[in-house]
């Protein structure tokens, strides 16, 4: 007898692993190129120039390549500031990816990643006074936090259970951002985290209106 196929909660969906690979490859390549063996220290700077989110491009700066002001709302999410930055984001993405795929399907996961990454960039552009570049998948990662928090809220409301754990998780995410902000001396794009989280929460509310709803049209 052929064993049943594992469910979305038993293994990582291909779309999750593909996004992890797309984020990891540039950082791993840049880290290797910066070693004494290659000495290509300028490559990271070029990657940042071409792919990071630059608020100035929305205010009259000249783009390096056609379409950069629009594309940077997504490309920045695949670049990171170092291996630890990458590792933190990818661990959370993989951890939260299972429930997200279960509720939205693989296409829905990819759409949620794109929407929340763009929302994070938009929030950064609107709130942050910094003209410097932003990189990292944390806008989308906090979008996953927002979506999964909505589903936890949804489950607890349906069961008549206390919403205390939901509020504590929200407080924990705020506290984590405060601690990280101090640890990195203010170099934290908390604005992108906020934008991604709110977009993820709203996305889940819109496409999964009931506890039993699965967004099968995205599969």
Q: Would you list the domain boundaries of the chain?
A: 14-218
Q: How confident is the model at residue 212 (pLDDT cuts 50, 70, 90)?
A: confident
| Best CATH choice for the domain 14-218 from the list 1.10.510.10, 3.90.420.10, 1.20.140.10, 1.20.1540.10 | 1.20.1540.10
Average pLDDT over residues 1-21: 68
What distance, in Å, lies between the first and last C-alpha atoms of the chain? 27
Residue 53 has phi, psi (to 5 degrees) of -90, 115
Average pLDDT over residues 31-52: 88
Whether 30 contacts 44, CB under 8 Å: yes
Q: Is the model more confident about 101 or about 218?
A: 101
pLDDT value for 217 = 55
pLDDT value for 3 = 36
Task: Please tell me the distance from the alpha carbon of residue 184 to that of residue 51, in angstroms, as a whole number.
Answer: 22
**Which residues in 15-29 are b (16+ Cβ under 10 Å) and which e?**
bbeebbeebbebbee
pLDDT at 64 over 70: yes
Whether 43 contacts 30, CB under 8 Å: yes
pLDDT at 133 over 50: yes
Q: Is 163 helix (H, G, I), strand (E, B) or coil?
A: coil
pLDDT value for 209 = 86
SS3 content of the chain, % helix, strand, coil (to 5): 70, 0, 30
Q: How confident is the model at residue 39 (pLDDT cuts 50, 70, 90)?
A: confident
């Amino acid at each position: 007898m052929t064993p049943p196929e594992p469910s979305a909660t038993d293994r990582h969906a291909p779309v999750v692993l593909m996004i992890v690979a797309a984020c990891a490859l540039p950082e791993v390549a840049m880290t290797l190129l910066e070693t004494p063996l290659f000495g290509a220290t300028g490559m990271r700077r070029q990657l940042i120039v071409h792919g990071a989110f630059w608020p100035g491009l929305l205010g009259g700066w000249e783009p390096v390549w056609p379409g950069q002001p629009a594309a940077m709302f997504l490309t920045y999410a695949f670049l990171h500031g170092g291996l630890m930055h990458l590792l933190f984001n990818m661990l959370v993405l993989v951890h939260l990816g299972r429930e997200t795929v279960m509720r939205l399907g693989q296409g829905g996961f990819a759409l949620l990643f794109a929407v929340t990454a763009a929302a994070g960039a938009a929030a950064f552009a609107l709130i942050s006074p910094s003209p410097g570049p932003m990189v990292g998948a944390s806008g989308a990662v906090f979008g996953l936090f927002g979506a999964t928090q909505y589903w936890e809220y949804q489950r607890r409301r349906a069961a008549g259970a206390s919403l205390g754990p939901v509020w504590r998780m929200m407080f924990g995410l705020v506290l984590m951002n405060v601690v990280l902000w101090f640890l990195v001396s203010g170099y934290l794009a908390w604005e992108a985290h906020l934008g991604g989280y709110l977009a993820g929460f709203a996305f889940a509310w819109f496409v999964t209106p009931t506890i039993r709803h699965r967004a099968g049209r995205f599969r």
